A and B are shown apart, each in its own frame.
Chain A
Amino acid sequence: AAGVIQSPRHLIKEKRETATLKCYPIPRHDTVYWYQQGPGQDPQFLISFYEKMQSDKGSIPDRFSAQQFSDYHSELNMSSLELGDSALYFCASSFHPRTSYNEQFFGPGTRLTVL
């Protein structure tokens, strides 16, 4: 079965640079979520989108923004990168919770390293 696709899988950036992460949800899933997992930490929810609209917002820094497009894929834009942004970034997708139990399926993640 098709899974969530994330690109790139690995990314190395310098401090103060920008980065864009992409997420392609499971076919027919209309809702996407972004999470950040630092070393030795549990995943932290950043933001979610449904029908191109922001739905829930977690601990996303103001330097980050995200959007969802008409084909349901999503992009996470990160600016003024800091060393502390080095982490695994996961995207998850689901059917909208109105029609499901909000079961979210995660992509393989993008490993971001900020030097």
Chain B
Amino acid sequence: RKEVEQDPGPFNVPEGATVAFNCTYSNSASQSFFWYRQDCRKEPKLLMSVYSSGNEDGRFTAQLNRASQYISLLIRDSKLSDSATYLCVVVRDSGGGADGLTFGKGTHLIIQP
């Protein structure tokens, strides 16, 4: 079983719609979680950190469910510029401190005019 699993999509949604992604992670000891977005052939860009209490940043809301080991991202009032691949990310728990990130395969989102 892959450590971080996401539905690859693509998700085709009309502009202005609300879209939600989930991902699941296998390591119950994981402590830190993120959503990154990646545009074609570009670097991953940090979208949101995901905190236990959930957090919101403008049109974006992230939630963490530790009991079920899943993370969600909700995008409201989607814009054409939201079209990208959304990567669910879990920090490795190596105990060394500067831990690397484990990425899901990504969910491809296409916003249609």
Contact = CB atoms under 8 A, between A and B. Distances in A.
Given A103-B46, A103-B49, A58 B92 contact: yes
Interface of A: 31, 33, 35, 42-50, 55-58, 88, 90, 92, 94, 96-98, 101-109
Contact of A101 (B32, B45, B92, B101): B32
Nearest to B43: A106
A101 B49 CA distance: 8
- Chain A contact surface mostly: strand
Contacts, number: 76
A43 B106 CA distance: 10
Contacts of A105: 46
Nearest to B85: A42
Question: Interface of chain B, helix or strand or loop or mixed?
Answer: loop
Say which size band chain B's interface belongs to. 20 to 34
B99 A48 contact: yes
Interface of B: 32, 34, 41-46, 49, 87, 91-92, 94, 96-106
Most A Cβ at <10 Å: residue of B34, B46, B99 = B99
A109 B49 CA distance: 22
7 contacts: A35-B100, A35-B101, A43-B87, A56-B96, A56-B97, A97-B98, A98-B97
Given A43-B101, A97-B32, A104-B101, 17 more contacts: A42-B87, A43-B103, A45-B92, A45-B100, A48-B98, A50-B98, A55-B94, A55-B99, A56-B98, A56-B99, A97-B99, A101-B32, A101-B49, A102-B32, A106-B43, A108-B43, A109-B42
Contact of B97 (A35, A50, A103): A50
A112 B106 CA distance: 22
A49 B98 contact: yes
Most A C-beta atoms less than 10 A away, residue of B87, B100, B104: B100
A108 B98 contact: no
